[in-house]
Amino acid sequence: MISNAIRADLSALGLHADAAEETTEIATPQPEQIEDWLGLFYVLEGSSLGAKLLVKRAASLNITESNGASHLAVQAGNAANWSAFLGVLEAMQHLNEARMIHWANETFSFAHQAFETVMENNLADH
Ligand code: HEM
């Protein structure tokens, strides 16, 4: 949902726009059961909460939608998805919580590695 915005931000920041593709070096999580998807969505949708703060921090550095923070703007504007996700979570019963938490951690780990890979590949080129 935000990959185009991320590509535009990388380009605006003078980083390789195509570096986003380099995350294919990392194994993509392959969710199967409902708990796997819920753990994954927890991280993807929850990240919009922090994005609201990060939009302001970026703006204080003069980085806005037009020059590097467009993906944050999209995330911050998606607050309704988080409430909808919580509604789904509340309605679910008999979930394997440990499995859900494991998948949230897997998703965090993937995001972290994706970020590190793009940054390292860009720094290596300078
Ligand atoms: C890949 C996923 C995520 C990334 C990359 C991310 C990144 C960040 C970063 C960099 C900050 C600023 C931290 C600081 O310097 O103070 C932040 C803040 C925050 N994040 Fe996340 N986050 C993610 C997922 C989540 C999730 C799943 C939640 C909750 C369900 C969440 C909730 C928050 C909140 C509430 C803040 C603001 C904390 C404050 O007010 O000081 N984030 N996030």
Four-CA torsion 105, 108, 109, 114, nearest 10 degrees: 160
Residue of 42, 47, 78 with the most ligand 1 atoms within 8 Å of its CB, for mutation = 47
Domain locations in the chain as residue ranges: 3-12+33-116
pLDDT value of position 22? 58
* 18 has a pLDDT exceeding 80: no
pLDDT value of position 126? 62
Q: Is the CB of 89 under 6 A from ligand 1?
A: no
Q: Is the CB of 85 under 6 A from ligand 1?
A: no
pLDDT value of position 24? 63
Q: Read out DSSP for 36-76?
A: HHHHHHHHHHHHHHHHHHHHHHHHHTT--TTTT-HHHHHHH
* 71 has a pLDDT exceeding 60: yes
* 66 has a pLDDT exceeding 80: yes
Q: What is the mean pLDDT of the chain?
A: 90
Q: Is the CB of 79 under 6 A from ligand 1?
A: no
119 confidence band (pLDDT: 50, 70, 90) = confident
Place of tokens 């897997």: 106
Higher-confidence residue: 126 or 51? Answer: 51
**Ligand 1 atom 40 nearest Cα:** 53
- Mean pLDDT of the 84-100 span: 95
pLDDT value of position 28? 86
Asked whether 16 and 122 are in contact (CB, 8 A), the reply is yes
* 112 has a pLDDT exceeding 60: yes
